Amino acid sequence: MKFKIRPATKEDCKEISRMIMELAVYEKMPDQVKITHEDLERDGFCQNPFFECLVAEVPEEHKSTEGFTVVGYGLYFYNYSTWEGRTVYLEDLYVMPEFRGNGIGKGLLSKVAQVGKKKRCVRLNLSVLDWNTPSRDFYAAKGARDLTDSEGWHFIRFDGQNLDNLANEAPED
């Protein structure tokens, strides 16, 4: 199947928002999605955007059963390792189920790697859920390492009231 990968535009945010929800349903946490396409438009298409995004598009004749031609996305941003320098972080990689098996996910992943290399990034990082065997196998087959298994890194998060409490206890300037 023919497909094209291109940088997302502000006009793609409704489609990206739709797929963000589809991915969250797959990850069994749809109730955690609070974001709207307006948020994506504001935060991704401003000066110093908080993220960049690629979308995968198929020709009209291959549109989905529901009529969509934007069928996948890869949303990423730049991080920094104090050990190795610039890195790129792939927050989401998603291809609609009926379009899988056509190399679209691999295409999006490779393109993010290429964009990162152009910015002199030395790592491409991402996160997966432990039960998500298809994704873990997909990344492992391309040479990724699981740093939680091999080095013992755990994700820690402050949010909600805990984050507010921390911020309120900050020393005066």
Contacts to its own copies from residues 83-142, by CB under 8 A: 83-86, 89, 91-92, 106-107, 109-111, 113-114, 116-117, 122-131, 136, 139, 142
Query: Contacting its own copies (CB under 8 A), which of 10, 100, 137, 147?
Result: 147
Instruction: Lay out the site mask for its own copies across 2-41 (x = CB under 8 A, - = otherwise).
Output: ---xx-------------x--xx----x--xxxx---x--
Candidates 73, 89, 94, 139; catalytic one: 139
| Tokens standing for residue 108 | 């999006």
- φ and ψ at residue 73, rounded to 5 degrees: -155, 155
- Residue of the chain from 22, 98, 137, 149 that contacts its own copies (CB under 8 A): 149
Of the candidates 139, 130, 150, the residue with the CA atom closest to the CA atom of residue 112 = 139
Does residue 51 contact residue 76 with C-beta atoms inside 8 Å?
A: yes
11 and 37 Cβ atoms separated by less than 8 Å: no
Q: Could you confirm whether 139 is annotated as catalytic?
A: yes
The minimum distance between CB 84 and its own copies, in angstroms, equals: 5
The token pair at 140 is 């492992």
Report the relative pairing of strands 52-57 and 70-81 from DSSP bridges: antiparallel
Which helix (H) or strand (E) segment is 98 a member of?
none
In angstroms, give the least distance from the CB of 88 to its own copies: 9
Site for its own copies in 44-83 (CB under 8 A): 44, 48, 50-51, 75, 77-83
DSSP 102: S
Residues taking part in catalysis: 139
